[in-house]
Structure 1
Amino acid sequence: MSSIDLSQYEAEVAAAEAEVTRIREANAELAEAYRGDPSEGAREILRRGAASLAAARDRVEAARVALKLAQATGSPHGLLAREGVVAGSLAVAIPAGSSSGERARLIEAALSAELTGVARDLGVVLAAPAERYTRERPGRDAEGRTILDVSGHVEGDVLMPAVSRSAKNARRS
């Protein structure tokens, strides 16, 4: 893969990190304002700021994983396993109007073999079906595919999904 291609991923990492810095500075100002006026409205604004910061940190991690995958495989999609953590992304063509069962089958078909291979490399087994390790990103890629973030962590000799049900449901609604 050429450095021109990698520069896009490096720029995405830099932009995501800059966004985290911007949100942190804004949250610091909000916290200072809250100290002067500890009202319920100000507290709600602080909560929203914290949620924005968490989402921005997720984008930084996704951008870093995409960069590492691009460096290693030439594609922004795939799985990386390091220190008991599995992270990556997957692009799946899911037709509009698909039932949840059909959606799960498509994700299982696209992810199962690769996720099982990563688990085997880590010396662990999967704790759940492949779909449980995914969280859908908003929107579609340029080819109209659904992008899914894949996340898991090792507990003992089992690879556990690292995507909460509430996080998955928040993306779908």
Structure 2
Amino acid sequence: MSSIDLSQYEADVAAAEAEVARIREENARLAEDYRLDPSADAHEILRRGAASLAAARDRLEAARVALKLAQTTGSAHGLLAKDGRVTGSVAVAVPPGTSSGERARIVEEALGAELTRVAREIGVVLAAPAERYTRERPGRDAEGRTILDVAGHVEGDVLMPAVTRSAKNARRG
């Protein structure tokens, strides 16, 4: 992969880091305002700030994973295993109006073999179907595909999904 291609991934990481720093500064000001006026409205603003920071951190982690994938595989999508964790992403074509069963089949087809291979590489087995390891990113890629972030962590000799059901539902809603 050329350095020109990597420069976009590096720029994405830098932009995500800057956004996290900006939101942290803004949240520090909001926290100070809340200490001075602990009203319900101020608390709600502080809560939204925390949610914004969490979303920005998620985007930063996704940008870092994409950069690492680009460096190691030459692609923006794939899986990485390190320190008992599996992270990565996969792009899938999910037509509008697809049922949840059909969606699960599409994800299994696109991700199942690769996830199983990575699990075997680190000496564990999967604890759940491939779809349980995914969380949908907002929007679509340039080709109109749905991007799914993939996350898992090792517990004993099993790879457990590291994506909570509530996080998945929040993204879809």
TM-score, with length taken from structure 1: 0.99
Partner-residue secondary structure (3-state), 1:108: helix
2:39: which partner in 1?
39
The superposition leaves residues 38-72 of structure 1 with CA deviations (integer Å, 9 ceiling, x where unpaired) of: 11111111111111101101111100000000011
Who is 1:80 aligned against?
80
1:15-60 deviation line (CA, Å, top 9, x unaligned):
0000000000000000010111011111111111111101101111
2:90 alignment partner, SS class: strand
The secondary structure found in structure 2 opposite 1:29 is: helix
Aligned counterparts of 1:12 and 1:102: Cα–Cα separation in 2: 33
1:65-109 Cα deviation digits (max 9, x unpaired): 000000111101000000000000000011111111111100000
- Structure 1: tracts of 5 or more residues without a match: none
1:1-20 residue pairs with structure 2 within 5 A?
A: 1-20=1-20
User: Equivalents in 2 of 1:104, 1:172: separation in Å?
Assistant: 15
Correspondence 1:121-140 to 2 at 5 A: 121-140=121-140
Give the CA deviation at 1:171.
1.1
Number of corresponding residues: 173
Q: For the aligned residues, what is the CA RMSD?
A: 0.5
Look up the match of 1:166: 166
Once the 2 structures are TM-superposed, how far is the Cα of residue 149 of structure 1 from its aligned partner?
0.2
Identity among equivalent positions (%) equals 83
- Runs of 4+ in structure 1 deviating by more than 6 angstroms, as ranges, are none
1:172, 1:30 → 2: CA distance?
A: 28
Give structure 2 stretches of 5+ with no counterpart.
none
Distance 1:132 1:18 in 2: 31
Determine if the alignment matches structure 1 residue 70 to structure 2 residue 70. yes
Partner SS, residue 43 of structure 1: helix
Q: Distance in 2 between matches of 1:12 and 1:63?
A: 6
Q: With structure 2 as the length reference, what TM-score do the two structures score?
A: 0.99
**SS across alignment from 2:142:** coil
